[in-house]
Every structure is written in structure tokens, then in C-alpha cells.
Amino acid sequence: MRRFDYDLITLGAGSGGVRASRMAGKYGAKVAVIESSRVGGTCVMRGCVPKKLLVIGAHFGDAFEDARGFGWTIDGARHDWPAMIAAKIKELNRLEGVYRNLLRNAGNQLIEGRGVLADRHTVEIGGKRITGEKILIATGGWPAIPDIPGREHMFTSNEALDLMHRPERMVIWGGGYIAVEFAGIFRALGSEVHLVIRADHVLRGFDGDVRAHLTTELEKKGIRIHKGRTITKIAKAGATYTATLDDGTAISADGVLAATGRAPNTAKLGLAEAGVAINGKSAVVVDGWSRTSVENIFALGDVTDRINLTPVAINEGRLFAETQFNKNPMEMDYANVASAVFSQPAVSVVGLSEENARKTHDVLIFCTSFRPMKHTLSGRDERTLMKLVVDRKTDRVLGCHMVGDDAPEIIQGLAVALKCGATKAQFDATIGIHPTAAEEFVTMRDPVAPPAKA
């Protein structure tokens, strides 16, 4: 006789929850997965996947222009936004079906509804109670919008991916991942885009040279960046929205996108009732095994606010299942997780920024900026940046940074090198592939001069 209805109850059918549940099922566990929205979660339904499809769609505009330099004549190219959104919706419906099948094939039971913890072993879904020996919280995050007058007039990345018409004039609030990615999409498809950022450069937390380079490239694309500014209110008159900045500037637009960060989905989940501790940012507190303050309750992915990236959540899910259901304890290594921002041009990094590395290491910096080969004929004024941060003492490469076409594809390979502890000498001993942009990463010979002491 089982003491509980299930071996595992997972709250949230996003990337992390699905991976953990499928693997637990594969190892023989009886699993229930509870989802209140679409199966697939943020990444597949409201984030990475649809966003990347729109980024790919937006890139064609520049490609058509660039083709002229290579002898092409492309007359009458027009973009049909509703057609792109319809194609995207169709693909997401297909993917949702794939995710449902994955759960079914793993023997997991999908329960659609909102799950709330009643106690440390009991989950209530619409008045029905089920019990689980272990409970996994994988409820992800949700857009956080500052509380200003007119906040209800803004939309978020959730809705931006489903707009039935492209706003001709857009205001985007924030300078993080989501802000620069959507700025690129809308600008490339013809919208007037205003980006309102508190700092002088986009992408706080990234390497300073990367931030400065991308900020310049976005401006070259015609994105109007309002630096050192914030939005104090939004007013709506008819179909027009007016964003007022803290210096009094008023920007009129057809839509205002709030890309001001995301917060963990921990509200009204019954966490306090079950004794699960959350931190000051409302994230579930976990140890290295994704265990919460309650022994049989675990949490992973964005709801824990560790590294908020899909592949990290997926790996946390895999390791959780290995540890709890396959007698194979595995702890996650958070070092050298590569990431990308699908701005135009794209950014990708692995390892430490120069600023962070300097806090603990004596470093050598190698940096190059060049015009990509394509643009020698296309005439486009766009430059690629590549940068290596190297430990002077050990010669180990601590960080690789790139802004430019294909940056995510290139950095993924370098992430393997960093995971293996590659040195600059090993980078130098690697023969480049010619002619590529990537070869610059193995041909940077001379360090740049260190910054002048203040």
C-alpha cells in the first residue's frame, strides 16, 4: 500500500518541471504534474522559443537590404505581421502537443488547474486534494511591473508575442534581456522604438565593453535610447499612449512594453502554510540539492532565482531526478554557464566579465572589434566585438564575450573549452577556420593596455 497518492507531485509544467517529472517517471516514480497555464511553460510558450522565431523573422529585413551589395534586386518586399504571428501560434500549438506527449509517454499524469499546498504532503487543485511523498515547486516567474500611475496601460513580453498588429511607435521600459530583444524585433520590422533605461548602457551585469558596444549598435539601428531615465507615468488617450519620463519628456506611442524584470511565482501557493522559506526577493530558498527548508519539498528553475535560464532549469530537473529517484546523487555546477541575448546584433558570453574578474584575479584582456566580412560588400555600418579575459598567473581563460552575428553559436563551443579549463596558450595553439569571425578568438595575440589607475 502506498502511503501517498503519488511519489512526486510537480507544480508547473515548464522546462524544469517537465524534465524532472519525465525522468522521475522513467525511474519508476508515480508522478502528477499540475499546470495552470499552457504545458511547456515560459520558455516554450511565452519566452525563448516564440521570441527566437520572431527574431529570425525580423532578421530578413536586414538580409534583404544587405543582399543589394551582392547584386540582388529585391523589389516590393513587405512584412505581414499577422501572418508571422499566426505561423508562430501554429508552431506553439504543435510544441504544446509534443510536451503533453512527453509527459504521457513518461507515465506522468497531467492535472490542469492551479495547485496550492495545503500541507507538506498535500496539494489542493480546485477543491480536490492529492498527496505526494515528494513535492517539486517549478512554477517559474512572471513579469514584474513597477507600480506607477497608468501601469495597467503597459503590456509585457507575454502579450508582445501575441500582438495582432505591430505598433508603429513603441516605448520599451528597461534595458535587460527582454527589452533589447524586443527592441530589435520591432525596430527591424519597421517600428519607431524608444528604449528607456536607468543606466548609460543596456544589459547591466554584462561586461562593460559588451554593454557599450551593443548600446552603440542599437543606436546605429535607429533605436532611440533614453539613458539615465525612468518612466513616471503612462496616460492613454484613444489608441495613443503617452509615457512621461522623470525629466518631463513625453513620448507618444502605440504601445508601451514593460520589460522591467521578472519575479518568482511564489504568491498564493501555500508555501508559508507548508513551512517553505522564501527570501527577500520572494524566491524559494534551496540548498545545492534543490531542497527547500522542508525536507520533502524541492524547488528548481526561475522560482528559485539562481541562474534564470531554461537550460539551467532543465539540468536542475535532471539532477533532482537522478538524486531522488535513481540513487545517483548529482549536484549542479553553476560555473561557466554560457548565455545569449538575441538582440540584433546578438550577444553571447561565458565566464567572467572583466569587471568581475578584476575583483579576484590579476587579468590580461584581449579585445578586438572589426567589420564583419559580409558588411564589406553590404555597406552596413556594423561592427563585431570579441573579448577574452585571461588570468595572468595561470593563463586560464576566465571569460569569452562576443557581440555580433552568430555569437551564441560561436560561444557555445567556447563554453566547452572553458569547462575544460582552457588556457590562453591553448586558444593560441588552436588553428582558426578561415575565413570566419570565430577564428578571431584564436588569433588575438596582444593584450590591450590596462585601464589607467584613478
Q: Which residues are catalytic?
A: 434
Cβ pair 140, 10 in contact under 8 A: no
Verify binding: residue 58, ligand NDP, rule CB under 6 A. no
The CA-based angle 83-88-91, given to 5 degrees, is 130
Cα dist. 443→91, 213, 340, 382 in Å? 41, 21, 23, 21
Residue 25 or 408 with smaller CB distance to ligand NDP: 408
Least distance to ligand NDP, CB of residue 258, Å: 8
Does residue number 178 form part of the binding site for ligand NDP (CB under 6 A)? yes
Q: How far is the CB of 300 from ligand NDP (least distance, A)?
A: 15
- Residue whose CB is less far from ligand NDP, 197 or 390: 197
In the complex with ligand NDP, the residue whose CB is nearer, 316 or 391, is 316
Regarding 259 and contact with ligand NDP (CB under 6 A), the answer is: yes
Task: Closer to ligand NDP by CB, 45 or 340: give it.
Answer: 340
Residue 249's identity, in one-letter code, is T
By CB under 6 A, tell whether 199 contacts ligand NDP. Answer: yes
Q: What is the SS3 assignment for 284?
A: strand
Stretch that binds ligand NDP, among 74-82, 169-177, 236-244, 446-454 (CB under 6 A): 169-177
Contact between 176 and ligand NDP (CB under 6 A)? yes
Instruction: Judge whether 124 and 116 are in contact, CB under 8 Å.
Output: yes
State in angstroms the smallest separation of the CB of 87 from ligand NDP. 21
Answer yes or no whether residue 99 interacts with ligand NDP by CB under 6 A.
no
SS3 93: helix
Residue 309 within binding range of ligand NDP, rule CB under 6 A: yes
User: What minimum distance in Å lies between the beta carbon of 265 and ligand NDP?
Assistant: 13
What string marks each residue from 224 to 243 as x (binds ligand NDP by CB under 6 A) or -? Answer: ------x-------------
Contact 283, 293 (CB under 8 A): no
Total chain residues near ligand NDP (CB under 6 A): 23
The only residue of 59, 100, 198, 380 in contact with ligand NDP, by rule CB under 6 A: 198
41 binding ligand NDP? (CB under 6 A)? no
> Can you read off the three cell numbers belonging to residue 368?
578586438
Query: Can you give 6-26 as a three-state secondary structure string?
Result: EEEEEECCCHHHHHHHHHHHH
Buried (b) or exposed (e) across 20-36, using 16+ Cβ within 10 A? bbbbbbbbebbbbbbbb
* Nearer to ligand NDP among residue 341 and residue 350 (C-beta): 341
Q: What would the DSSP string read from start to end of 214-270? A: HHHHHHHTT-EEETT--EEEEEEETTEEEEEETTS-EEEESEEEE-S-EEE--TTSS
Q: Does residue number 177 form part of the binding site for ligand NDP (CB under 6 A)?
A: yes
- Helix (H, G, I), strand (E, B), or coil: what is residue 81? helix
What order of strands is seen across the sheet that includes strand 231-237?
231-237, 240-245, 250-253
> Closest CB to ligand NDP belongs to which residue?
176
Is residue 340 a contact point for ligand NDP (CB under 6 A)?
yes
**Does 427 participate in binding ligand NDP (rule CB under 6 A)?**
no
146 binds ligand NDP (CB under 6 A): yes
- Contact between 339 and ligand NDP by CB under 6 A: the answer reads yes
Q: Which is nearer to ligand NDP, 235 or 422 (CB)?
A: 235
Q: Is 418 in the site for ligand NDP (CB under 6 A)?
A: no
Contacts of 170 (CB under 8 A, 6+ apart): 183, 186, 191, 192, 193, 194, 253, 254, 255, 256, 257
Q: Residue 150 or residue 261: which is nearer to ligand NDP going by CB?
A: 261
Nine cell digits for residue 261 = 524584470
CA distances from 332 to 315, 318, 324, 417 (A): 8, 10, 14, 18
Binding part of the chain for ligand NDP, among 82-90, 93-101, 178-186, 242-250 by CB under 6 A, reads 178-186
Residue (89 or 199) nearer to ligand NDP, CB: 199
Beta strands of 67-223 (E only): which ranges? 109-112, 115-119, 122-125, 128-137, 141-143, 169-173, 192-196
Grid look-up 502579450 returns 159
Residues forming contacts to ligand NDP in the complex (CB under 6 A) are 146, 174-179, 181, 197-199, 204, 230, 259-262, 308-309, 339-342
